[in-house]
Amino acid sequence: MPFVYEKKIKKNKKGDSLQVQKPTHRERAFLNPKHSAPGNMTLEAALMLPLFLLVILSILYFLVIMDFQLKLQMKLEAIARETARTQYLGEEIPGYAYLKLMGGLSSPENGKWLENSFISGGSSGLGIAQSDFSVKDGVIDYVVNYEIQIPFIPDRIMTLPFVQRCRFRTWTGSSLSAEGEDGQQVVYVTPGGAVYHMDPCCTHINLSIQKRAIYELEELRNAEGGIYTECSLCEEGEVKGETVYVTEEGDRWHYTLSCSGLKRNVIEIDIGDAGDRRLCSRCGKEE
């Protein structure tokens, strides 16, 4: 027996029109395109978040590397300072500077710190082949090179190379004798100077600088009774204030202490290396 389904239409009491069902607020929000988030925005967020985190971690990692470099430099300088202080005791020991560096880096404290550091290979990854252990001219020159591991990247693919250096002059003092190592007379010169000096305290190279007010210059005289004139080296480009600088032996006044006319770079040489320089008339006699 067939069944017949009849759809009943609800009629309004006031008429025979169909009743319209309005959607609820939640249904309107769901159906409104303005309130729906496209799927590609979710995908972009999923892709950008790891990249953002990677950038932040990279910046933090470089800060950690800088902190490691600072600590390594401090340890290197401590070793070089100790070597410079005791170099005169180890002059007869072959490779004294090398032994001091290796001993300092392999000490229990430093060795453990390097082994647990970011250096590829630990303490064995620290190279010192570029160092100069000859202590030439009384200078200790320590150079270390190493490679830093990068997180999540194997060492065989990529590492960051670094080089750090430390130079110290040995504390060997100076000889009280007026003779050099080869028995020659020691004299004192300045780069580009035309004379040589017998006395390191000669007033030509050991200047006595005085600070004066600019209004005093009219009455001020140097050691020879001469007047002071404006320095041609510092008169341009310097701020002219109320204070100037003079020397008792000079005849110029200067605006600043940094003027090259007030500086002397004195070098100690053997008299045989004086070349065409003539003897200073102030601290010696003309030959």
> What's the pLDDT tens digit per position in 30-68?
555 555 555 556 777 777 878 888 788 878 888 888 999
* 166: confidence class by pLDDT, cuts 50, 70, 90: very high
The confidence score (pLDDT) of residue 76 equals: 93
Residue 126 has pLDDT above 50, yes or no: yes
Residues 222/246, Cβ–Cβ less than 8 Å? yes
Residue 185 has pLDDT above 60, yes or no: yes
* 73: confidence class by pLDDT, cuts 50, 70, 90: very high
CA distance 282 to 204: 8
Tell me how crowded residue 7 is: count the other CB atoms within 10 A of its CB: 4
* 149: confidence class by pLDDT, cuts 50, 70, 90: confident
Percent of the chain with pLDDT over 70: 77
Residues 280/202, Cβ–Cβ less than 8 Å? yes
Q: Which amino acid is located at 49 in the chain?
A: L
Mean pLDDT for the chain? Answer: 77
Residues written for the chain: 287
Residue 74 has pLDDT above 90, yes or no: yes
Q: What are phi and psi of 197, to 5 degrees?
A: -120, 140
What residues contact residue 217 under an 8 Å CB cut-off, 6+ apart? 227, 228, 244, 253
Name the residue ranges covered by the structural domains of the chain: 54-169, 186-279
CA distance 70 to 57: 20
* 70: confidence class by pLDDT, cuts 50, 70, 90: very high
Look at 178 and 266; give whichever has higher pLDDT: 266
CA distance 122 to 112: 9
Average confidence (pLDDT) over 135-161: 83
Query: Reduced to 3 states, what is the DSSP secondary structure of residue 90?
Result: coil
Residues 86/93, Cβ–Cβ less than 8 Å? no
